Amino acid sequence: MIKYLGLFIAVLILSCSDGRVGGRKVLISKIDSLGKKIKNVYKPGFGEIMSGIQRHHTKLWFGGINNNWKLASFEIHEINELLEDLEEYQSSRKETRFLNMISPDIDSIKTAIESKNVNDFKQKYIRLTNMCNDCHIKTEYEFIKIAVPDKNPFSDQKY
């Protein structure tokens, strides 16, 4: 993709640099519209991002209950990044407005991770999970019910 893009821009420059008045303007506007196209080439969907969040939510649990605090901290960081992706790529969806309702629970589970306290972690995890569901209810996706995982679906990962 990048290789062809370079070629395309080179052809554009050659075709526009023949000294004609306005050639530069044409070039700039073409590059501009190309830039816009690239921006929209890959735009992850709301559900796709949520599926990613679900994976990290699961691993967060197994990280925490197994005292793997580095992993737990990594997973909460990944969840945060995906929430930011929602803001960036799905700002036009009305559901995105409710995103900030989960921030306090993310912050409080971070504190439990930092203090390496399994019992506190478990409580905060349940609260976070309830908040996932609260948002699903608010956005009329109440049929998507998130729970505390009872088994590790990732048999290829040790905690």
Q: Which residues bind ligand HEC (CB under 6 A)?
A: 46-47, 50-51, 53-54, 57, 79, 95, 98-99, 102, 128, 132, 135-136, 139, 141, 144, 146
Nearer to ligand HEC, 20 or 43 (CB): 43
Which of 85, 95 has the CB closer to ligand HEC?
95
Minimum CB–partner distance for residue 35 and ligand HEC (Å):
28
Residue number of the CB closest to ligand HEC reads 47
Q: Rounded to whole angstroms, how far apart are CA atoms 84 and 58?
A: 19
Least Cβ distance, residue 10 to ligand HEC (angstroms): 40
**Calpha distance 108→120 (Å, rounded):** 10
- How far out from the chain centre does Cα 59 lie? 16
The least distance separating ligand HEC from the CB of residue 19, rounded to whole angstroms, comes to 52
For the bound state, the minimum distance from the C-beta of residue 71 to ligand HEC, rounded and expressed in Å, comes to 16
Q: Residue for token digits 């990944």? A: 78
In the complex, the smallest distance separating the C-beta of residue 100 from ligand HEC, rounded to whole angstroms, is 8
Q: Which is nearer to ligand HEC, 12 or 144 (CB)?
A: 144
Nearer to ligand HEC, 16 or 86 (CB): 86
Residue type, 155: S
Instruction: Report yes or no: 58 and 153 within 8 Å, Cβ to Cβ.
Output: yes
**Distance, CA of 145 to CA of 151 (rounded, Å):** 16
Q: By C-beta, is 16 or 60 nearer to ligand HEC?
A: 60
The Cα 103–Cα 42 span in angstroms is 26
Helices 46-65 and 69-89 pack at an angle, to 10 degrees, of 170
